[in-house]
Amino acid sequence: MNLPATDRRVLISGASRGLGRTLARAFATNGDRVAVHFGSREEDARATLASLDGEGHVLVGGDLSDPAGAADVAGRAVTALGGIDVLVNNAAVNLPHPLADTSYEDWAALWQQHVSVNLLATANLSHLAARDMIDRGTGGRIVNIGSRGAFRGEPDHPAYGATKAAVHALGQSLAVSLAPYGIAVASVAPGFFETERVAHRLSGDEGAAIRAQSPFGRAGTAEEIAAAVLWLASPVAEWASGTVLDLNGASHLRT
């Protein structure tokens, strides 16, 4: 079960923009071949694909909230790349739904959406990628993108916080069950970090308040998150399997 340091086959869910795009670039620069997944933002995903160093990268679209869609995405990634050595579960939704201001109908629908994308898609892709790794006998890596919100609470986004906590727990369960096959599973728990999607929030009073959350006086960067994920996916990080790595600039310390 020898995981190479480069030229791995990497599937990144939700890679059309933001952190997913940065992750794809980090793995491509490392010398890996990347399957860039997108749900609905095909044009953005094609821009991600065009920006990657190296050759052999592919585009894989599909609805991960549907188990059949997840199977189709994983199957096409396996076919195009020749297998999956690394899975990064990055796809997620994070829509506001404070209880006091949300109707029951909207509340139920939003919870279902968060569970389907953030948790069940992660579980399903993990099963599909791990089965490929087991069947080929190569070992591999699964890295989940969790959240600081799993530990500190998300009053306006409770389903996001809850599903990210579940993702952390899922990763730890899989770390134990998959270790005999040479598959290491870990998660990262980022705090607030800059992407184009949240750039507007970093201006004005809200931006000052966000930066003040960390004693470093700034928000994180997608590149910092990607560097941690790249290490957790590396051959030398096997002993970190089961970890949930806080990446929040000391803005939230847990015991």
Catalytic positions are 160
* Chain centroid, CA 190 distance in Å: 10
Q: Which residues contact 214 (CB under 8 A, 6 or more apart)?
A: 191, 220, 248, 249, 250, 251
Alpha-carbon distance 98 to 112, whole Å? 15
List the structure tokens of 240.
């970190």
